[in-house]
Structure 1
Amino acid sequence: MQLLQVTTLLLMLLLLILLCPEHSASEIECERWADLDFGVFQKEGQIILAGYFPIHSQDVPQELSFESAPGKTRCKGFNLRAFRWSQAMIYFIEEINRNPNLLPNITLGYRLYDHCWLMAQSVRSSLSVVSQSLKRNSTGACSSPPIPLIIGDPSSTLSMGIARLLNLFKVPLVSYFASCACLSDKKKFPYIFRTIPSDAYQASALARLVKHLGWTWIGAMGGDDAYGRTALEIFLAEVTRLGLCTSFRAIIPKVPTQQQIEKFVKIIRDSTARVLVAFTTEEDIQPVIEEMIRQNVTDRQWVGSEAWVTSTLISSGYPNLSGTIGFAIRRADIPGLKKFLQNLQPLAEPYNPSAREFWEMQFQCSFNKDLPLSMGDLEHYNRTCTGQERIEDTDTIYNDVSQLRVTYNLHKAVYAVAHALHSLLMCQKEEGNSDKQKQCPDILKLQPWQVIPYLKKVNFTNEFGDSVYFDEFGNAAGSYDIVNWHKGAEGRPLEIVKIGRFDSYLATEQQLVLYEENIVWHDGSKTVPVSVCSPSCLPGYRKATRKGQPLCCYDCVPCAEGSISNSIDQSECTFCPEDLWSNPQRNSCVEKQIEFLSYTEGFGMALAATAIVGVVATSSVAVIFLRHRDTPLVRANNSELSFLLLLSLTFCFLCALTFLGQPSRWACPLRRTAFGLTFALCLSCLLSKTLVVLMAFRATLPGDNTARWFRPPQQRMGVFLCSALQCAICVAWLTTAPPYPVKNNWLYRDRIILECHLGSVALFCCVLGYIGCLAVFCFILAFLARKLPGNFNEAKFITFSMLIFCAVWIAYIPAYVSSPGKFTVAVEIFAILASSFGVLLCIFAPKCYIIIFMPEKNTKKYLMSQKVR
């Protein structure tokens, strides 16, 4: 139906343009379209301002056909709030007319249109504006529109529709309530100016408010118009950028059926979101709220846009919405307005049809039926109106001036227009008094496009201390109050309380100010309600997003070892620095455990005790040998080499102790060189012993003088030379690339292994290789001498000792490579102790056994008798 009406009106517009060209012939007769002015309230003046108001909220359906012209539009749903706006515009214009400093000697008039929230009626009103006083002039041409601009429309959708029509005539539109961000597009809407901030400010600010209050899971809805859809789109984009999520996003139909409303509320009821953000008008949100109350869905926290969050219609009619918060247009107390509203006369001149309808509805009475009707359907009451009823005795939205927000924006719009016209008037006066070549328009023959440059330059501070100006997009500054609905006294409606503010022109960190201690939430508490898809992840946990679900729906997963999260809701755990590790709670990094083979731990104590036992055992053998040094057994086994061998074994056992404890700059070189030198000395002694045994039997052959080369001086020289070669290798090692302590961070992530780096691996291999060569050579010689005659053939025992020695160190290699951390050192100590005990037991245990337990065999006769056998 609306589409048909709009089409009809556009056809009328085309006809109007064809009939009134710029230079029409004198015979053309221009007439006013009479049906365009139905329901208009007007007062003449030298300059006429048009105003658009939704005094009615819905149209009355009518049958349409192509057989007859559509009837006059009828509307229903009288809007007290919009009617107050229209009366406020009259008051502001009268104030300006009384002001000698603003537009002196110029009288402003007005034409107020009721468009009933209908696009067709808005276009009809715009046609009325652009076709005013079309009549033949002296040349026969049609005159230009006498109305230079329009104050309105409060609806963003309707503003977009009529702006396209007004663009053809370059008629500026100064809106006081159309906040859609889309109207900032100067290519599409070059002549729209607004005293209300763009929704781009509000939508992003609401997202920041939601973020500030800790709500990450919300439901979002908008009206099915340019205002609701555009604001919702901007809000959702900002919410996503801030890392928040929406449980649902929905559009409220403009004229919903009961089934649609029930389905809509079901979406809200089934959602786990406890916070609802709505970008709608009061007319759109009202049926949703009613159905939610009917279904007892009252446990939701509402966050409203400026279009309804200050609506007295909603706040006074639904006390269950206590706790609602939202952004509101800045308010002001306008002195004198309340008195003006209460002095309304329904039958005064000029006659206002809407005033009559308001009066009859308010006081439940009827006037004379012969009076002209308004656009609304008037009900018939049995009581007759006298016109003397007192508005001050009533308490309605109409005379409630406690929350003048849209009205204050209307005040800014009317005064901005007045200042623009005043600047134009001053330009005209300056031109008459100077020689400057100025082209100032005649204010009494004003064309709409001539006002536009002056509107762009408007910049003044009003009586309430606010700066009024338009930016490059024709918008006002993004300034809002943050309000909260509190329960009033018994029987009183909800109170709208300011709890913060938002100013876009301030620094980012100063834009949003919220007094949380003054907020009362929907459940009456002071605690901020929780609305999250998943509970917050505590420190020590990270968020793991659930597959196929929004980012705000996640599981809390403990941080892995070595990583931490020290705040709530971290998406990733942070790895600790190299020298630190995570504590058991995974919420802080602590110093890594330093690990080395210590004397104080059980395993280290056992190894140290074993080494000490070895030292004691070696010392005991030395004492036994010393006490029995004159016995044949001791003397026959070269007591000097035996004592030197016992001394080297003592050093070998003591060398094992150097591997215990924390590695340091002196401990690392000490343990490696001590190991190399002591074992070289030990094996040198064994090698000399083996050679002595072997040469002793060869010396018994006639004519063999080899034995003279293996006397004690030569033995000492051999031991010295073999040890000196190892000493030279160690000196070269210490002077070029000595061992040094390192922190091993790569073997274990949770602890640091202190160990000794070899320095030069090649020289370390030389040290080990030299010891291995001595051991192998000694083993070969002892093996060759194992079958020589004698009751106590020491070559057998040296063979066994070297067999154990070589077996231990051959097994040491894979064990050393495969042992982690401090166990590498333990394996090395074990090899040192095992090989040392092997030599000690194989070489000296049999001798000590005979010396102590079988002294009868410790005789020269016994030893010699075996030789001749």
Structure 2
Amino acid sequence: MKLFWMGVIPTRRTRFVFLSFVLNLLFPCNSSTDLSLQCRMIPNTMPVLEKKGDIVLGGLFSLHDMVEEQSLPFTSQPPKRKCTSVLSTLSPTRFNFRTFRWMQTMIFAIEEINKEGKLLPNITVGYKIYDSCSTPHQALKAAMELMGGEKSSEAGEKTQRNSTCNESVPMVIGDGGSTQSLVVAHFLGVFTVPQISYFSSCACLSDKKQFPAFLRTMPSDFFQVEALVQLVKHFGWTWVGVIAGDDAYGRNGANIFANEVIKLGVCVAFHRIIPKNRQQAQILPIISVIRLSGAKVILVFAVEQDAAALFDEVQRSKLTGIQWLASEAWSTAAVLSTPEKYHHILQGTVGFAIQQANIPGLRDFLLRLNPWRSDAQTDPFLVSFWEEMFQCSLGVQTESREKEGESKPPCSGKEDLGNVTNIYSDVSQLRISYNVYKAVYAVAYALKAMQSCVKGEGPFFQRSCADPGVIQPWQLLHYLKQVQYLNSFASEIKFDENGDPAAMYDLVNWQMDPNGKIEFINIGKFDGVKQQLYIHEDIILWNGNQTRVPSSVCSNICPPGTRKAMRPNFPVCCYDCVCPPEFWSNAERTTCIPKRVEFLSFRDTMGITLVAISFFGSFSTCIVVLIFFCNRTTPIVRANNSALSFLLLFSLTLCFLCSLTFIGQPSKWSCMLRHTAFGISFVLCVSCILGKTLVVLVAFNAKLPGSNVIKWFGPSRQKAIIAICTVTQVLICTVWLLVAPPAPRQLIPREEDFIILLCDEGSYIAFALVLSYIGLLAVLCLFLAFLARKLPDSFNEARLITFSMLIFCAVWIAFIPAYISSPGKYATVTEVFAILASSYGLLGCIFAPKCYMILLRPEKNTRKHLMSKAPSSKF
């Protein structure tokens, strides 16, 4: 049996072997030829309520919550199993009055059919009902009793020994819980014995491969989940908690719900299970999770006992402000709606309940019970019911009471059920009772169809009909699947291909009346056939007696101008509303304002300063050009290759001016211009200096005897060298612009109120090549100038070039780490500063001494002075 309890699905052959083994244990058969000993039955160890009839229907109802633990010595016949319940604030009685009403409804329906005689004329329907005690193994044992139990529980031992194995019931109505029905359905399915459940809604039971003989008058949880999902969608809740009972009903239903709402973009804040032991220490963590999650709408998918355990702890923890969603198992449960301690936390609860009906005559039938009636002696459940109802003793002392030392006053015999307000006699919310009623009538209509079969036109082999005298369960199952009738309540009763009925739910709202009692107000319905939800929002009262729909979102909808910023390690429904990257929140955090754009502007103090320095450098270069032009015939200008000097001054002017392209708002064209202009201008400048250095070296070597090197470095060759060096840089820049050109880019610091607008280099390799090429020419020029620094001329330009290139190289070597470490627009400032500093270095070191001599020491600007030998410098 452990295979069934653990939910393992064995093969059909394995189940048959297993069940054969169990049946052999229950009904061991002797191999003796003595027919009187051929089948020896273990006596029935379970209390049973039965009535004889031509056709006997089995029934399973959970009148208690558990089975008493017994000590089995294995040396004697085991005693009868006793069902009980734990006395607590959650279960104040040992007897489930609601389930007892369901059981009485089955008896009422059977007796109604027998009394009218129109549906099944000349046939008497009997019953055999067991208490499954809300436990799978007890439900399985009861099902086994129904499959081969005694015909009379009062039969003596002699009759039992002299009888053969008795026939089983042709079908079973029950059980209530999905977990119990799973076990029973596995067992009965092996023998194709039809089972109709009145309260098992687990969607797993719709699988006909596993449960071929299972039907139900209770809709599948697939439909209930669809209704709940549409409810969540309708009210726009995106942050919903899920709490489930630890059974097949709770776990399967909650899992389906969670999977479906996620498809709609709803996030499940948490998913917790109510433990079956219902201990406070096990439920407290659920309360903590509810508080921490911030979810205001929580679905409880559990049976009423588990829900009561949760809400008892919710009430004890003073957790309020939660909008509870109820699954149909407790959406109209009196155990939760009656106690006043739950009213303040459950008022406003919304949930789905199966449709109700008014069954005429049922209340009078329920009130007929009396332990002093002659027929009451055969009812094994009446004593417990009566004593729990009136808290008195009928003189029947049980072992459990002896152990607990219970003492109740004797019953007077004047107790009247009509004077007691109790869920048992409350017929205002007949929902599950109506399911039981429909299940009995479905069997009756199936039997009627079986009895009405015309010989030769039957549905079985060779168009045969069933034998009315010996009903085969598989034949009855065939007719049950075909049942379709309209009952007196204008409800059509039929089963689909999965054995499920048409799903119709009432949407109920728990509202408190002026007397402080909870009423179930119908606020809508769900049509499972059309998959349509209908809601009357204007009559809903939410938790806290509010008319406004509660909000349950992890994060509110972001206002216009803001965007969602996901929270790390949180579901997608949880986010912070932040401004777009280009915006910044105002001081009051009520709106977003554009961030200020930061770049090296012509209006900034820094930009104005750099522009002034740039123009001053250009102006100074023009002054030098003017001085040189006016004194172009003087020895100093002529001796230092005036053509290269003017070209160098022109390139320096370009270097000063190219720094202006780095100032102002970056654009596509300015970004491309600033880097290419900078690279080409400086290569032209350094190439001219390289040409002047080569001239100095060639001029010295030309004075040596036998030297003809001067012919290789004439004016045309100098221009060619400059052109080749410059064109090489132009090619590098052209490839750069074609492959990955520089472009404007926004740098948006998250915690700053500004946007940095700068030029992205595009290709860092190309940018590095441009700088490296300039550096290569500069180093080569420095090396050659250093070699020519001690040449014996009164005015040796090589020394000036050496100093200028030292400054140039020092500036650009320092530029690289400064550029990398400078944030935002200051990287651009660093680059402009390097351009201006190196340009001023070249202009000052090379041309300042010459201008000094031309303007202030004209006496030295003579051929004689320049040709005279000057002492060599130690530099």
User: TM-score by structure 1 length?
Assistant: 0.66
Given that 2:526 and 2:533 are in contact with CA atoms closer than 8 Å, whether structure 1 keeps it comes out as yes
Moved more, 116-125 or 60-69: 60-69
Q: Output one character per residue of 1:407-463: Cα deviation in whole Å (capped at 9) or x when no partner.
A: 23223322432343344345x215269999223212343133331233345466766
Rounded to whole Å, the distance in 1 between the matches of 2:774 and 2:283 is 86
Q: Secondary structure at the match of 1:307?
A: coil
Deviates more, 1:229-238 or 1:828-837: 229-238
Matched ranges for 1:266-305 at <5 A: 273=291, 281-282=303-304, 304-305=326-327
Hey, what's the Cα distance between the residues in 2 that align with 1:617 and 1:34? Answer: 123
Paired residue for 2:172?
150
Aligned to 1:814: 813
The one-letter code matched in structure 2 to 1:840 is: F
Give the Cα–Cα distance (whole angstroms) in 2 for the partners of residues 694 and 181 of structure 1: 104
- Picking from 423, 430, 436, the partner of 1:410 is 436
For 2:865 and 2:391, the matched residues in 1 are separated by 150
Whether the 8 Å contact between 2:354 and 2:505 is mirrored in structure 1 is yes
Q: 1:518 aligns with which of 518, 540, 549?
A: 540
Q: Does 2:718 correspond to 1:722?
A: yes
Q: 2:792 aligns with which of 779, 785, 792?
A: 785
Tell me, in whole angstroms, the C-alpha distance in 1 between the residues paired with 2:459 and 2:127. Answer: 36
2:654 maps to what in 1? 654
Distance in 2 (alpha carbons) for counterparts of 1:770 and 1:482:
86
Q: Which among 188, 195, 209 is matched to residue 217 of structure 2?
A: 195
Counterpart residue number, 2:145: 127
Which blocks of at least 5 consecutive residues in structure 1 are unaligned? 1-9, 223-227, 254-259, 370-376, 546-550, 553-566, 787-792, 852-856
My pick for the range that moved more, 61-70 or 828-837, is 61-70
1:753 matched residue in structure 2: 759
SS at match of 2:247: helix
SS of the residue 1:193 aligns to: strand
1:323 maps to 347
Shift of 1:835: 0.8
Change (3 A) 1:214 1:778: closer
Correspondence 1:831-850 to 2 at 5 A: 831-850=838-857
Q: How far did 1:833 drift?
A: 2.9
Q: 1:117 is matched by which residue type in structure 2?
A: C
Q: Which residue of 2 aligns with 1:609?
A: 612
Q: Distance in 2 between matches of 1:863 and 1:125?
A: 131
CA–CA distance in structure 2, aligned partners of residues 434 and 288 of structure 1: 51
Using a 3 Å threshold, how does the CA distance of structure 1 residues 178 and 689 change in structure 2: closer, same or farther? closer
1:749 CA displacement: 9.1
Distance 1:155 1:461, change over 3 A: same
Q: Distance in 2 between matches of 1:57 and 1:125?
A: 18
Larger Rg: 1 or 2? 1
Contact 2:139/2:183 (8 A) holds in 1? no
1-structure distance, mates of 2:348, 2:442: 33
CA deviations on 1:817-842 (whole Å, 9 max, x unpaired) are 44335334542443233212221212
2:131 to 111, 115, 124: 115
Provide the C-alpha distance between the structure 1 equivalents of 2:334 and 2:375, rounded to a whole number of angstroms.
28
Equivalent residue for 1:454, pick from 473, 479, 495: 479
CA deviation map 1:502-551 (0-9, x unaligned): 788888xx89999699352268685648799x999997765556xxxxx8
Q: 5 Å matches for 1:244-643?
A: 244=268, 249-253=273-277, 273=291, 281-282=303-304, 304-318=326-340, 320-321=342-343, 322-323=346-347, 325=349, 328-334=352-358, 336=360, 351=375, 381-382=411-412, 384=414, 391=418, 396-426=422-452, 428-429=453-454, 431=456, 437-458=462-483, 464=490, 468-472=494-498, 474-475=499-500, 483-491=508-516, 493-498=517-522, 518=540, 520-521=542-543, 528=550, 543=567, 569=574, 602-603=605-606, 605-623=608-626, 634=634, 637-638=637-638
Contact 1:306–1:326 at 8 Å: present in 2 too? Answer: no
Equivalent residue number for residue 558 of structure 1: none
**Aligned pairs, number:** 773
Q: 1:295 to 1:689 in 2, by over 3 A?
A: closer
| Residues 59-138 of structure 1: pairs in structure 2 closer than 5 A | 79-90=96-107, 92-93=109-110, 103=119, 105=121, 107=123, 109-111=125-127, 113=129, 115=131, 117=133, 123=141, 127=145, 130-131=148-149
Question: What does residue 5 of structure 2 align with?
Answer: none
Counterpart in 1 of 2:199?
Answer: 177
User: In the alignment, which residue of structure 1 is the partner of 2:17?
Assistant: none
Q: Secondary structure at the match of 1:443?
A: coil
Q: How far apart are the structure 2 equivalents of 1:693 and 1:12?
A: 120
Over 3 Å counting, the alpha-carbon distance change for 1:589 and 1:850 in structure 2 is: farther
* SS of residue paired to 2:463: coil
Distance across 1 between alignment mates of 2:766 and 2:607? 25
Q: Corresponding residue for 1:559?
A: none
Change (3 A) 1:660 1:57: closer
Query: What is the alpha-carbon distance in structure 2 between the residues aligned to residue 718 and residue 590 of structure 1?
Result: 66
Residue aligning to 2:403: none
Aligned amino acid, residue 814 of structure 2? A
Residue 163 of structure 1 deviates from its aligned partner by 5.9
Overall identity of the aligned pairs, in %: 22
Once the two structures are TM-superposed, the CA of residue 802 in structure 1 deviates from its matched residue by 1.1
Q: CA deviation at 1:170?
A: 5.1
Q: Shift of residue 843 of structure 1? A: 1.7
Q: Which amino acid aligns with 1:397?
A: I
TM-fit CA distance, 1:315:
1.1
Structure 2 CA distance for partners of 1:15 and 1:801, relative to 1, 3 Å: closer
Q: 1:93: Cα distance to partner?
A: 4.6
User: Alignment partner for residue 830 of structure 1, among 829, 837, 840?
Assistant: 837
Confirm or deny: 8 A CA contact 1:458 1:470 kept in the other structure: no
- Structure 1 residue 40 and structure 2 residue 57: aligned? no
TM-score, length of structure 2 as denominator length: 0.66
Provide closer, same or farther for how the CA distance between residues 333 and 456 of structure 1 changes in structure 2, counting only shifts above 3 A. closer
Q: Secondary structure at the match of 1:40?
A: strand
Query: How many Å separate the matches in 2 of 1:735 and 1:70?
Result: 104
CA contact (8 A) 2:97 2:385 kept: no
Which amino acid in 2 is paired with 1:84? R
Distance 1:826 1:513, change over 3 A: farther
SS of structure 2 residue aligned to 1:113? strand
Cα distance in structure 2, aligned partners of 1:833 and 1:660: 15
Contact 1:323/1:524, CA 8 A, preserved across alignment:
no
Matched-pair contact (CA < 8 Å) for 1:179–1:196: yes
Q: Secondary structure at the match of 2:660?
A: coil
Amino acid at match of 1:82: T
Whether the aligned pair in 2 keeps the contact of 1:206 and 1:235 (CA below 8 Å) is no
Q: How does 1:21-36 map to 2 (within 5 A)?
A: none
Task: Give the secondary structure class of the aligned counterpart of 2:275.
Answer: strand
Work out whether residues 745 and 753 of structure 1, in 8 Å CA contact, stay in contact via their aligned partners in 2: yes
1:738 aligned residue: 734
CA distance in 2, matches of 1:162, 1:622: 109
2-side partners of 1:434 and 1:867: how far apart? Answer: 135
Residues in 2 aligned to 1:129 and 1:643: alpha-carbon distance in whole angstroms: 121
Alpha-carbon distance in 2 for matches of 1:58, 1:542: 48
Instruction: Say if 2:584 and 2:595, in contact at 8 Å, map to a contact too.
Output: no
